[in-house]
């Protein structure tokens, strides 16, 4: 995952067809639906990777059949696309993200682990190997070491940030579809550590806690309206950036999340302008362990938990659990983030630049905020998080 070639040249945009642009927008819409549900269930400091979930679901879609397949296509915004167009989109996106910024350490890996002896259809194996570059391996799920084999793969692909995605395997387990995502990049404009100091952060219950607050004043992409203000912190060669979204004082974080969808998000992205901004942003480091079953159900994908995967195997398979583990650390140097998404299948009997003002705009993230790491040219969101109480554990 080490991109050894460094370059100061600005990133070349990822070229997408009109259909692929539509698919990317649909992915972001699905991302906000899932994040709303995850945020309700998981509570404060939720951190989630839409890209990792979408990649795992993309592999699963290649094995879906009948009404399950139709429901997945509807939920993922793929009803107007052929199978080839869908797989080519994922192939282009996953490959292009790896290459667009030599200054950013990014890794995307996929794997499929199936029970030794399970009659897996070759077409399912081939399509996921060809388009998702998935490693496909049989594994004795009855072995006490099976979970360690999968967990080691996850640790290797995330620079040891996600060391365990499953605790153990069972006699019911038939297949695991796994995506691992790793991201590490430096801010284009680093914070001076000498400027960081303890400051108040006001939580949603109005309690104040002391946090390590970073600070700088520089020209950044900025947006504000009556509900929120946001600033984009560019990374590396500017292909990637982290947008921090801060609700206005009278709008709490939950209301902001509830009102944020792909349309509202696109309005923000399309109307960013350059401003001289005084930024205060807390250092933080968090990990999340997310059960995505209910969020995925509530986003319109229910049949996958009952069956409908005849394109994987003639045996009756269903999704028993969708799990994601995430990690992020934000400091003066930049941001490091990782995610692993595991889908477990069981057997079943059933704007333009402007001159900066003399006085900088203040953007003080000293109360709960959202933050999103995205690729600029496609708009694809890699990670979404809500910060309710900055911690550095």
Cβ contacts of 5 within 8 Å, gap of 6 or more: 102
* Mean pLDDT, range 276-294, rounded to an integer: 96
Region label for 193, one of left (φ > 0), alpha (ψ between -120 and 50) or beta (otherwise): alpha
Are residues 30 and 56 in contact, defined by beta-carbon separation less than 8 angstroms?
Answer: no
List pLDDT tens digits, range 81-137.
Answer: 999 999 999 999 999 999 999 999 999 999 999 999 999 999 999 999 999 999 999
Mean pLDDT, range 289-316, rounded to an integer: 95
Taking 50 as the threshold, does the pLDDT of residue 197 lie above it? yes
Give residue 251's pLDDT. 74
pTM: 0.94
pLDDT at 346: 86
**How much is the pLDDT for 11?**
83
pLDDT of residue 43: 82
Q: Which residue has the tokens 């199936």?
A: 114
pLDDT band at 7 (very low <50, low <70, confident <90, very high): low
* DSSP E strand boundaries for 298-368: 317-330, 334-347, 361-364
Residue predicted with more confidence, 217 or 250: 217
Coil, strand or helix: which one is 355? Answer: coil
Q: Are strands 273-282 and 228-235 parallel, antiparallel or unpaired?
A: unpaired
Distance CA 332, CA 134 (A): 35
Q: Please, which residues bridge with residue 286 across strands?
A: 328
Q: What is the pLDDT of residue 146?
A: 96
Nearest-Å Rg of the Cα atoms of the chain is 21
Mean pLDDT of the chain: 92
Q: What is the pLDDT of residue 357?
A: 46
Contacts of 311 (CB under 8 A, 6+ apart): 62, 63, 64, 65, 69, 121, 123, 124
Identify which of 388, 380, 368, 353 has the alpha carbon closest to the alpha carbon of residue 265: 380
The model's confidence at residue 392, banded by pLDDT at 50, 70 and 90, is confident
Which two three-digit tokens encode residue 279?
């930024």
Distance CA 357, CA 274 (A): 10
Tell me: pLDDT of 303 over 70. Answer: yes
Between 347 and 303, the more confident residue is 303
Task: Give the model confidence (pLDDT) of 308-352 as tens digits.
Answer: 999 999 998 999 999 999 999 999 999 999 999 999 998 764 443
CA distance 59 to 140: 22
User: What is the band of 354 on the pLDDT scale with cuts at 50, 70, 90?
Assistant: very low
CA atoms within 13 A on the CB side of 137: 11
User: How many Å apart are CA 10 and CA 267, to the nearest integer?
Assistant: 24
Domains in the chain with CATH codes: 18-185+286-347 (3.30.497.10), 187-283+352-387 (2.30.39.10)
Bridge partners (DSSP) listed for residue 184: 105, 336
- The Cα–Cα gap between 349 and 346 comes to 10
Q: Return the structure tokens found at 188.
A: 């284009």
Residue 70 pLDDT > 50, yes or no?
A: yes
Reported residue count of the chain is 393
Max CA separation in the chain (angstroms): 70
- 3 state SS for 161-222: CCCCCCCCCCCCEEEEEEEEEEEEEEECCCCCHHHCEEEEEECCCCCEEEEEEEEEEEEEEE
| Helical axes 66-75 vs 50-61, angle rounded to 10° | 150
pLDDT in tens, 231-250: 999 999 999 999 999 998 76
Lowest mean pLDDT among 4-13, 248-257, 300-309: 4-13
Instruction: Output the pLDDT for position 348.
Output: 61
Nearest to 290 by CA among 60, 57, 41: 41
Confidence of residue 8 (pLDDT cuts 50, 70, 90): low
What the block records as the tokens of 328 is 């992020």
User: H-type helices in the chain, by residue range?
Assistant: 18-42, 50-61, 66-75, 83-99, 122-132, 146-157, 253-259, 262-270, 293-298
> Can you read off the two tokens belonging to residue 52?
């990792």
């Amino acid at each position: 995952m080490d991109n050894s070639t460094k370059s100061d040249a600005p990133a070349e945009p990822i070229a997408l067809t009109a259909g692929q642009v539509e698919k990317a927008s649909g992915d972001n819409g699905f991302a906000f639906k899932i994040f709303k549900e995850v945020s309700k269930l998981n509570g404060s400091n939720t951190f989630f990777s839409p890209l990792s979930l979408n990649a795992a679901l993309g592999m699963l879609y290649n094995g879906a059949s009948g009404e399950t397949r139709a429901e997945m296509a509807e939920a993922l915004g793929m009803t107007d696309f052929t199978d080839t167009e869908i797989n080519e989109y994922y192939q282009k996106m996953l490959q292009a993200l790896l290459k667009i910024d030599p200054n950013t350490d990014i890794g995307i890996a996929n794997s499929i682990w199936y029970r030794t002896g399970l009659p897996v259809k070759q077409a399912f194996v081939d399509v996921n190997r060809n388009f998702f570059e998935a490693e496909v391996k049989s594994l004795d799920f009855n072995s006490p070491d099976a979970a360690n084999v999968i967990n080691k793969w996850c640790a290797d692909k995330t620079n040891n940030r996600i060391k365990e995605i499953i605790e153990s395997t069972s006699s019911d387990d038939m297949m695991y579809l796994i995506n691992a995502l790793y991201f590490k990049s430096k801010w284009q404009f680093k914070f001076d550590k000498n400027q960081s100091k303890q400051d108040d952060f006001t939580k949603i219950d109005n309690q104040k806690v002391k946090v390590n607050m970073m600070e700088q004043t520089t020209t950044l992409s900025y947006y504000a309206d009556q509900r929120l203000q946001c600033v984009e912190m560019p990374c590396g060669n500017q292909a990637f950036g982290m947008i921090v979204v801060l609700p206005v004082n009278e709008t709490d974080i939950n209301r902001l999340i509830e009102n944020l969808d792909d349309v509202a998000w696109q309005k923000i992205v399309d109307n960013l302008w350059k401003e001289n901004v005084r930024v205060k942003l807390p250092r933080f480091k968090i990990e999340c362990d997310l059960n995505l079953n209910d969020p995925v159900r509530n986003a319109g994908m229910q049949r996958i938990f009952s069956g409908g995967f005849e394109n994987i195997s003639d045996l009756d398979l269903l999704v028993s659990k969708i799990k994601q583990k995430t990690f992020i650390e934000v400091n003066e140097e930049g941001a490091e983030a990782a995610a692993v998404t595991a889908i477990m299948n069981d057997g079943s009997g059933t704007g333009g630049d402007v001159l900066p003002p003399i006085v900088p705009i203040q953007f003080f993230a000293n109360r709960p905020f959202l933050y999103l790491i995205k690729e600029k040219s496609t708009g694809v969101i890699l990670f979404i998080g809500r910060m309710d109480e900055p911690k550095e554990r």
